[in-house]
Amino acid sequence: MLFQVKDLAGDTGDTGALVAVLRACDAHAQVTVDPSIGQIDVSAQLTAGEVIAALQAAGYEASRVSEPRRIHVSGGTDCCGSCS
């Protein structure tokens, strides 16, 4: 899940605190932080709402970013066959 975190863009501080917040909720969470654009990518056993609530509790304002849509490739592994 992709999230936009307010005031993270351009932050050169320690992003480890943000990762620690989410790992406190799910020890196996995989978190990738991109401070240059103010986004984090989270793979965890948490809902988007739980991620946002945990970040808010730690003082971060966050919102979910729409995931990029997969491009349909006819005959590919994501092809349902309905457009053939």
pTM of the model as a whole: 0.73
Both tokens of 5, joined, read 């975190």
C-beta atoms surrounding 76 within 10 Å: 9
Beta carbons of 22 and 51 less than 8 angstroms apart = yes
- Per-residue pLDDT tens digits for 5-40: 988 766 555 688 889 999 999 999 999 998 888 899
Confidence of residue 56 (pLDDT cuts 50, 70, 90): very high
For the 2-65 domain, the top CATH level (class) is alpha beta
Report the C-alpha gap between 50 and 56 in whole angstroms. Answer: 10
b (16+ CB within 10 A) / e for 5-25: beebeeeeeebeebbebbbeb
